[in-house]
């Protein structure tokens, strides 16, 4: 019975890893669609978000069923509770990519991002992908040192977010309110995606140590 239970725990973790990988791929593809006005790619990202949503709903049902059947305690209960938390954040990471792709689709056939902001948005997309890839590693390895480091990696995203806002708030901004709103939303989507990844890493740290990262600061 215990072996079967731990096999189910392993299967849950594999699903979390799959969700993280799908979110990373979606964000990478959404950024490409955004910067190249690739409608087909944007539509694929939007459609594929259903895969992440379905995994999220299925995983929650599996976890709740396992809790009801096994009535776990101590570390096993902590593993299931953190898995529910992480699945919600991973689903939201996929949603952020979905939102990026929707802006690409909405502005097609034009490119949504002004030329002078293309590099900043590309860097934000690259930073999000790196953070998601590191989160995948943390889920696979339960590496607490990497979990601690991820919050520092998120500083890069925050720096890019501030850089974007400096450009948008400059009096010389020439692209009007509609484009400014698009850029504000895009900056928020990338920044929130990274934030959700940091929360996932924090939950892995809690799963392994029983302590929250902030309690060590």
**pLDDT at residue 216, rounded to an integer:** 44
**pLDDT at residue 217, rounded to an integer:** 44
Q: Which residues does 116 contact at the CB level (< 8 Å), separation at least 6?
A: 167
Q: Which residues of 98-126 are buried (b: 16+ CB within 10 A; e: fewer)?
A: bbbbbbbbebbeeebbbeebeebbebbbb
Mean pLDDT of the chain: 94
Where do the domains of the chain lie? 2-216
Q: Mention the CATH class of domain 2-216.
A: mainly alpha
Higher-confidence residue of 101 and 72: namely: 101
Q: Are 116 and 7 in contact (CB under 8 A)?
A: no
Q: How many helices (DSSP H) and strands (DSSP E) are in the chain?
A: 6, 0
Neighbours of 56 (CB within 10 A): 20
pLDDT at 97 over 90: yes
Of the listed ranges 38-42, 67-71, 201-205, the one predicted with least confidence:
67-71
pLDDT at 142 over 50: yes
For 56-89, how does the pLDDT look when each residue is reduced to its tens digit (9 = 90+)?
999 999 999 998 888 777 888 999 999 999 999 9
**Mean per-residue pLDDT, 29-52:** 98
Q: What is the pTM of this model?
A: 0.94
């Amino acid at each position: 019975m215990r072996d079967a239970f731990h096999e189910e725990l392993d299967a849950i973790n594999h699903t979390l890893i799959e969700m993280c990988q799908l979110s990373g791929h979606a964000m990478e593809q959404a950024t490409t669609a955004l910067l190249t006005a690739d409608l087909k790619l944007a539509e694929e990202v939007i459609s594929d978000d259903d895969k992440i949503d379905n995994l999220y709903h299925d995983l929650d049902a599996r976890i709740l069923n396992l809790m009801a059947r096994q009535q776990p305690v101590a570390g096993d209960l902590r593993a299931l509770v953190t898995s529910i938390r992480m699945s919600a954040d991973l689903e939201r990471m996929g949603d952020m990519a979905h939102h990026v792709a929707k802006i690409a689709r909405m502005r097609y056939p034009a490119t949504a991002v002004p030329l002078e902001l293309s590099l900043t948005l590309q860097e934000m997309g690259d930073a999000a992908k790196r953070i998601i890839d590191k989160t995948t590693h943390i889920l696979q390895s339960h590496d607490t040192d990497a979990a601690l480091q991820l919050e520092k990696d998120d500083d890069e995203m925050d720096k890019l977010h501030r850089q974007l806002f400096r450009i948008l708030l400059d009096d010389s901004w020439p692209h009007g309110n509609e484009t400014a709103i698009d850029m504000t939303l895009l900056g928020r989507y990338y920044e929130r995606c990274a934030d959700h990844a940091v929360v996932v890493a924090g939950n892995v740290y809690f799963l392994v140590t029983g302590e929250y990262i902030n309690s060590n600061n």
